[in-house]
Chain A
């Protein structure tokens, strides 16, 4: 059905559009440009103006956003446009077209009164707030729902804290819809981190070959070569894990493939950025060299995607596992 389309072409288009976005003043202008290019609605249904393509096509778009330090809540907009279809087609269409900027508060639930981890909420018109029962509310910002940006980690898409005064009113997404939205976001986040990490490695590999010390490029030194090779392995691991998680997982557990691809990429992406900073030496520690911005956005994504908690939870699941038939005859007391 999609045989004539290649996800790679989406990455090329996205790269150009993301570069163009860097010159624009605010999130609204970037929304318009991204929406115009059809990049927000890649996986949203056609009924809301989307392209109705599988997430395989959205992943290269977010990878380009990660590589290009895009100042826009793209992952949030993409999953909201898809999740809102059938719930509120008009709003889904506005988000897909880039006419409305919406974001998601990834940390906490409405019952806490304050939620966090909402990228670019200060420039958004709406924010999705999760509820303790697994459902979520898409609330308009203003009045009882206010965004506050204090010392954001991600300087390109600064995250806000959202204060909720009283019950949150807005469009409700069921727990089932929210579960799919979260699963989609996990895959997209993995792609975003891959793009960001790839750029870090590419910057480091270029620098190592351009920078000369002791009469030879840094890249002539085996310690540098092996460091970069390990980073390249990390990126290949991300790429393969994500490819596997996106496809049908033969003989495997699709949710597990998705979770592990994300948990592993979150950790590895940060490590690749840290490694690139080391290769750049003193320059790596400057604000000017963009590696810290990659590190910041990947750290922010790790927090939105609850990577540390997720790894703990995965450990608990593995320790609870008891259904490999080959060891079935061992009597359990736990």
Chain B
């Protein structure tokens, strides 16, 4: 151990892209939008949408997308630089992350040119918020059990079925719908992808309140919903096969700011506790846990930067996308548990900085429970590593 210096986070030696991203966030992240200002009334959905559209214009979003589709035509290197700054700031999570990090890349991979030109810029401009219609009551991790049916009609498809855990469906304009044209016995065969306008007749959305009190989750019912032939994404089966390839890369690269956001949460915890001697005494009891959390942050940066380096070098990621997802979700959850315990011990008459911290960490604790469940549960990630990386055999 050579360095005894306090650990800083605002590094002066980042690239020019990071510097301009930092300056933009400084000038545009209002108190209402900040996630560390519980005492300030929160921003409206409209304000958040406007903020996200502005991020795109400022070059913080759509960085790697081609210019023809509204993107900035740059590389993952600039994307990583911007995401470092996004992570370090107490910025709200994106309203349209499904559009930008799931629907967009899938449309780019399997969509027709006219679909790309039409749909992709609308995602970045925030004209279209997307939701993901994959999970069903009987098909969570195991999408092969999907029951939502798409039947041929004269001029398109008739969709019947039910989706669940559909984040943001009630505020979305579009749904990335996975349905099957064959029967449930076909398992992975006959799967179809559609871009479905959420105002189509026959779509019924019901909100589900999640354990963090949020109303983002939804159930979405499709009753004889007619989907135009032109809204099919890729050919039957082909679309889904390509989508799964995209998903494995997305698992490694989506929300790339996570390591830095995690770091920012530690920074907030430390800074707020340093505002009160009693709070700092409590925090000091958790020194080892905080060290482990900070180690996890650096390790996560290692995972992300290594994968970005490999992708830039043209390498395949394959099942390795499971590593950062698994590592981050569990380490972040451990930190949230520690942070929750710390804020639960704060004196009742603590000042505003600690009240704001308490609100953020309580929310973090509950919301982090989802992190080991969504985007492939911990158990699914461990199965992927055992089967596809370690190649462990199951039979003698």
A→B interface (CB under 8 Å): 179, 182-183, 186, 205, 208-209, 212, 215-217, 219-220, 222, 225-226, 228-230, 232-233, 236-237, 239-245, 250-253, 255-257, 259-261, 263-264, 306, 309-328, 330-334
Contact = CB atoms under 8 A, between A and B. Distances in A.
Interface in B374-396: 379, 381-383, 385-387, 389-390, 392-396
Interface string B22-39: 000000000000001000
B2 A183 contact: yes
A319 B275 contact: no
A254 to B, nearest CB: 9
Contact of B394 (A220, A240, A245, A257): A220
Given A318-B266, A318-B270, A313 B4 contact: yes
Contact of B36 (A241, A253, A326): A326
Contacts of B385: 229, 232-233
A321 B7 contact: yes
Contacts of A318: 7, 266, 270, 287, 290-291, 294
A253 B298 CA distance: 10
A226 B6 contact: no
Question: Which label, helix, strand, loop or mixed, suits the secondary structure of the B interface?
Answer: helix
Chain B: interface residue count, which band?
35 or more
B44 interface: no
Contacts of A263: 291, 295
Interface in B1-29: 1-11, 13-15, 18
B288 A312 contact: yes
A251 B15 contact: yes
Nearest to B89: A326
B275 A333 contact: yes
28 contacts: A209-B393, A215-B396, A216-B394, A222-B383, A225-B387, A229-B381, A236-B323, A239-B306, A250-B14, A250-B81, A252-B11, A253-B8, A259-B3, A309-B1, A313-B1, A314-B1, A315-B287, A317-B7, A318-B270, A319-B284, A322-B270, A323-B9, A324-B88, A324-B264, A328-B271, A331-B353, A333-B277, A334-B280
Given A240-B306, A241-B302, A310-B1, A324 B396 contact: no
A330 B7 contact: no
Given A232-B390, A319-B287, A216 B13 contact: no
Question: Which label, helix, strand, loop or mixed, suits the secondary structure of the A interface?
Answer: helix
B305 interface: yes
Contacts of A243: 302, 306
A311 B15 contact: no
Contacts of B394: 216-217, 219-220
A51 to B, nearest CB: 25
B257 to A, nearest CB: 12
Contacts of A186: 1-2
Nearest to A183: B2
A333 B274 contact: yes
B323 A323 contact: no
A313 to B, nearest CB: 6
Give 10 closest A-B pairs by Cβ, nearest first. A315-B287, A315-B291, A240-B302, A327-B271, A251-B14, A229-B385, A324-B267, A225-B386, A260-B298, A241-B302
A263 B84 CA distance: 23
Given A233-B327, A237-B299, A314-B295, A321 B14 contact: no
A311 B291 contact: yes
B2 A244 contact: no
A240 B382 contact: no
A174 B6 CA distance: 25
B200 to A, nearest CB: 42
B228 interface: no
Contact of B276 (A225, A242, A333): A333
B142 interface: no
Given A208-B392, A245-B302, A309-B1, 17 more contacts: A183-B2, A205-B390, A225-B390, A226-B386, A228-B390, A229-B390, A232-B385, A237-B327, A241-B302, A244-B298, A251-B81, A253-B7, A255-B3, A260-B295, A263-B295, A321-B9, A333-B277
B264 A326 contact: yes
A243 B306 CA distance: 8
B326 interface: yes
Contacts of B89: 326
B303 A240 contact: yes
Contacts of A220: 393-395
